[in-house]
Amino acid sequence: MKITKVERQRLLKETIEHTPFITDEELAKIFSVSIQTIRLDRMELAIPELRERIKSVATFQWNETVKALPLDEVIGEIIDLELDQRAISILVIKKEHVFSRNNIARGHHIFAQANSLAVAVIDDELALTAKSELKFTRQVKQGERVVAKAFVEEVNDNGLTTVRVDSLVNNEIVFTGMFHMFRSNELRGGSQHENSN
């Protein structure tokens, strides 16, 4: 049954409020209309495009500064950060991230997004990955957006900080990583560990 324009716009607004990083293409599929119709609806409702919504979240929702690496070295775009607690980044899978024969993302890009977020969330000038446990749960394809969510789970007695990263596409987990991180104060005089990011 076809819904009215007024009803569609009401539902569209609700959908974007609930999932602000949804694309116009995804909205067009949900409402069975053209992408152009979605864009016109957004304009009438004064809802900015996805890129602007991401920028506004990144600008207004966090004021922390990444300490362990330059912001431009984080793989993906950080949209939320609370040092030593949590962080979120978004990576849009593009042509350069996938195998040309099947448009499936190379695993190291998914890992790099998660690993660099685990480094970024640490409240220290230097954080190195000592060990990681990884699980890929489904393939990610070109055009999909991977939302990585990092949570600092514990600071262990052995000096390691454990960071869990869940990476999702459309709220479905595609990757989970447990990263055991050294901080700079744990590295003084010790052996150097390779930084995986």
* Coil, strand or helix at 188: coil
* Separation of first and last alpha carbons in the chain: 50
Phi/psi-derived region of residue 145, left when phi > 0, alpha when psi is between -120 and 50, beta in every other case: beta
Per-residue pLDDT band for 193 (boundaries 50, 70, 90) equals very low
* Coil, strand or helix at 23: coil
Q: For residue 93, how far is the Cα from the chain centroid?
A: 11
Cβ(120)–Cβ(81) below 8 Å: yes
Cα separation, 163 vs 165, whole angstroms: 6
pLDDT at position 185: 62
pLDDT digits (tens, 9 = 90+) for 53-99: 766 655 444 445 677 666 667 888 888 888 889 999 999 999 999 99
Residue identified by tokens 């990955």 is 129
| One-letter identity of residue 2 | K
Fold of 5-56: Arc Repressor Mutant, subunit A (1.10.10)
Cα separation, 40 vs 33, whole angstroms: 11
The secondary structure of the chain in percent helix, strand, coil, rounded to multiples of 5, reads 35, 30, 35
pLDDT at position 61: 45
Q: Is the pLDDT of residue 187 over 60?
A: no
pLDDT at position 189: 42
- 62-187 falls under which CATH superfamily? Hotdog Thioesterase (3.10.129.10)
Spell out the domain ranges in the chain: 5-56, 62-187
Q: Is the pLDDT of residue 191 over 70?
A: no
